[in-house]
Amino acid sequence: MKTAVSIIVNDRRCETEVPTTMLLVDFLREVAGSKGTVVGCDTGQCGCCTVHVDGDAVKSCTMLTAQADGASILTIEGLASADGMHPMQRAFHEHHALQCGYCTAGIVMNAVDIVTKHHELDERTIRRLIEGNLCRCTGYSNIVDAILEAAREAKRGA
């Protein structure tokens, strides 16, 4: 069975029919061609597939494509601007907050959401807010440092 959807992915509208059972992450990868979003666990545990749906961080393996009909999706490919990488991406680079990179897109998308929605962030809060994202390489401290740095920068810019 198929469902018609109209979804904006990184400012590009995508109107098509998809199987009703298609997960949003499969739509993003296979239909919209946004392969920066990856799947690490199939059970909503790892957060590798985190994207923004209408401005909220969502694990895209926990949502059907049909549920995203009419929504605007931002993936890691849409985060950078013409001026270069997003401050969160820059902070991850500068703080060595990634090694293999597989969890990175998901954590960066979650981190952008966190910094947007929380004005007072300390280490403990950040650790609690990113516990839905697994990273096997870093031990997380550098990720926390990157987010703290990006949060400071966001505050300065605000």
Q: Which residues bind other proteins (CB under 8 A)?
A: 34-38, 40-43, 45-46, 48, 75-77, 79-80, 85, 89, 92-94, 96, 98-105, 108, 123, 126-128, 130-144
Q: Which is nearer to other proteins, 44 or 70 (CB)?
A: 44
Q: Give the helix ranges, DSSP H, for the chain.
A: 24-26, 87-94, 104-117, 123-129, 141-157
* Closest distance of CB 87 from other proteins, Å: 12
Handedness of CA 67, 72, 74, 75 (dihedral sign): positive
Name residue, tokens 């009703």: 20
Q: Which is nearer to other proteins, 102 or 152 (CB)?
A: 102
* Closest distance of CB 85 from other proteins, Å: 7
Q: Which is nearer to other proteins, 70 or 122 (CB)?
A: 122
* Closest distance of CB 115 from other proteins, Å: 15
Residues 64, 21: contact at Cβ < 8 Å?
yes
Closest C-alpha among 4, 8, 123 to residue 71: 8
